[in-house]
Amino acid sequence: MKEPQLPPADIPVNSISSSASSTPQQLRFLVIGAGSRGNAYAVAVTKVTPGTIHAVAEPHPFKRREFGRNYIWGQGSAQEGQEFTDWREWIRWETERRRADKGQDGAAGITGAGPVGVDGVFICTLDETHIEVIKAIAPLNLHILCEKPLALSLNDCLTVYRTLQPPEGADQRPRAQSKIFSIGHVLRYSPHNILLRKLLLAERVIGDIVSLEHTEPVGWWHFSHSYVRGNWRRATAAGDGSLLTKSCHDIDFILWLLCSPPSLENAVASGHEPHFPRSISSAGYMTQFRRSRKPAAAKDATNCLSCPAERDCSYSALRIYNDRHLAKGHASWPVDIVCPDIEDVYKTQGTAAAESHLLSRLREDYEVGKDADADIASRPWYGRCVYEADNNVCDDQVVTFAWDDEESEPRRLAKTATFHMIAPTEKQCERRGRVYGTTGEIEYDSRTISIYDFATAKTHVIDVPPPPPNQKESHGGGDYGLARQYVSAVDAVVNGGLDVETAQARFVGCTLEEAVRSHAVVFAAEEARREERVVQWKEWWNEKLKTSAAAWAA
């Protein structure tokens, strides 16, 4: 698969493609969901691409207005077509706009004097809404970047594929993709990981890859925030869980290194498929955050603010959100997830008012047996005792892959890989790993790549320059890289006259099919964990495709 070619900071992104016009069209994008991910992509688009954020759809008034001030209308006010309470309102508006401006195919440019639309969309809503949003947007024929995961079930992921991939033609082959599609697998786009892949696949600095070990240390309080108290704490029967919602881009990272060809463009031209694993297995547990682990001193308390052991508990919500963050002047993530308007309160009313606002939210609690389970599940409870929560996702999980030799050209050899997602760690999402090869081995973390050569017995350490301070919380620059490559692909199609398939391969470096299959591997691993068995990938995947196709036809 072709590595995303990140241009130097001083070179405009649209100079990558040869513009078909001396006056390139201004690229405009809508962001659906003004939470942390929506803001991450908006700031990236604004800082490192020629595109602009033109509109926002967000139900929370403060988050919507703050987003608009930061990226769209500044200190002025929103113009028509720039602010919507949700994506449904935007679709109604956009449908009417097109009806009034007949002759437009969905691009931002207009034929009349009415308000302009957008070229592409960033879908940054909660995971369970992605499938509904994509299905509703698909008829508008816009370029799409969807935050990971694509959907919460394999069937929904396959539905996305069938929704966005044109049907087969007379030759029984899928027709060419009509618009750019990208998924939020940001690990592919950080400078560190791009260099690592180049060293392994292009330069082959350790020869043939024999085995890989990759770990994501989630972070002790981060896991409690998002996966015990937060929106991602409950898995469903569809097969989702913390492996999907937290680590699907780690699984994708492993497949990117061990399955995908070095150049996607060349692979598409030659018809070479990825080197698929033979088998997938997994073991994982909800080890820590359950009632049997609750300290005896906490007695029957269910909320941190009324718990007699609160001051001695590492997972005290008061200690995490107030003492570690707000009391030190940090009103952004994760505090603004608990209280979306906390920064406004902090700025306008002061520290005491902000703390009072935070504590009022943390005091909110529920009573099992009295409150409906659907109501409990519908929202996060950030003051809830982590040992009395309604979470059911793994906080420790290992996935194991095995590949066979593939003797046909290009020849690819047997190998293994393991992935470990672990919650109680000092490091927070600072991934680390080791790759073993026939001529050496590589050790990596989020900052360095260390290469040991068997022949010379020497170690060469590469210190990868860290992202600029304003990109510190951007997955090692991956958010910026992904946004840049997505916008570059759209620019190449809109202004450069490049066909979508080539632009997708050259800039995004991942096809819609590959994104769906990457998610499928996660569901296969979860099935292996739940059923305590080894999944034979080829047979499993073919059966899932057969079942899905039959259901779709019906």
Residue-wise pLDDT for 495-544, tens only, equals 999 999 999 999 999 999 999 999 999 999 999 999 999 999 999 999 99
Residue 8 lies in a domain: no
* 69 and 144 together in one domain: yes
pLDDT digits (tens, 9 = 90+) for 44-62: 999 999 999 999 999 999 9
Residue 123 lies in a domain: yes
- Which of 491, 490, 510 has its CA nearest to residue 15? 491
Question: Which residues make Cβ contacts (< 8 Å) with residue 296, sequence separation at least 6?
Answer: none
Domain extent for 85: 13-186+483-508
Contact 186, 249 (CB under 8 A): yes
- Which of 365, 104, 394 has its CA nearest to residue 228? 394
Question: Which residues make Cβ contacts (< 8 Å) with residue 546, sequence separation at least 6?
Answer: none
* 299 and 276 together in one domain: no
Question: Which residues make Cβ contacts (< 8 Å) with residue 126, sequence separation at least 6?
Answer: 33, 231
Is 226 strand, coil or helix? helix
Contact 488, 505 (CB under 8 A): no
The dihedrals phi and psi of 474, each to the nearest 5 degrees, come to -125, 35
Residue 4 has pLDDT above 60, yes or no: no
Give the domain-ending residue among 313, 345, 377.
377
Residue 7 lies in a domain: no
* 500 and 519 together in one domain: no
Other C-beta atoms closer than 10 Å to the C-beta of 287 total: 14
Q: How many domains in the chain?
A: 3
* 173 and 306 together in one domain: no
The pTM of the full predicted model, rounded to 2 decimals, is 0.91
Residue 270: pLDDT band (50, 70, 90) is low
pLDDT digits (tens, 9 = 90+) for 110-146: 445 678 999 999 999 999 999 999 999 999 999 999 9
* 277 and 342 together in one domain: no
Residue 468: pLDDT band (50, 70, 90) is confident
Cα separation, 139 vs 141, in Å, equals 5
Q: Give the pLDDT confidence score for residue 99 in this predicted structure.
A: 92
Cα separation, 436 vs 142, in Å, equals 42
Q: Which residue has the tokens 């113009």?
A: 79
* 60 and 154 together in one domain: yes
* 66 and 80 together in one domain: yes
Cα separation, 273 vs 250, in Å, equals 21
Instruction: Decide: residue 453, CB within 10 A, 0-12 exposed, 13-18 middle, 19+ buried.
Output: middle
Contact 362, 337 (CB under 8 A): no
Residue 408: pLDDT band (50, 70, 90) is confident
Please give the single-letter amino acid code of residue 213.
Answer: E
Strand partners, 535: 280
Arithmetic mean of pLDDT, 344-368: 96
CATH number at residue 106: 3.40.50.720
Is 377 strand, coil or helix? helix
Residue 255 has pLDDT above 90, yes or no: yes
Cα radius of gyration (the chain):
24
* 296 and 236 together in one domain: no
Q: Give the pLDDT confidence score for residue 330 in this predicted structure.
A: 94
* 154 and 279 together in one domain: no
Q: Give the pLDDT confidence score for residue 273 in this predicted structure.
A: 79
Cα separation, 92 vs 108, in Å, equals 16
* 297 and 283 together in one domain: no
Contact 244, 522 (CB under 8 A): yes
* 410 and 542 together in one domain: yes
Contact 378, 400 (CB under 8 A): no
Cα separation, 459 vs 441, in Å, equals 9
* 86 and 105 together in one domain: yes
Residue 169: pLDDT band (50, 70, 90) is low
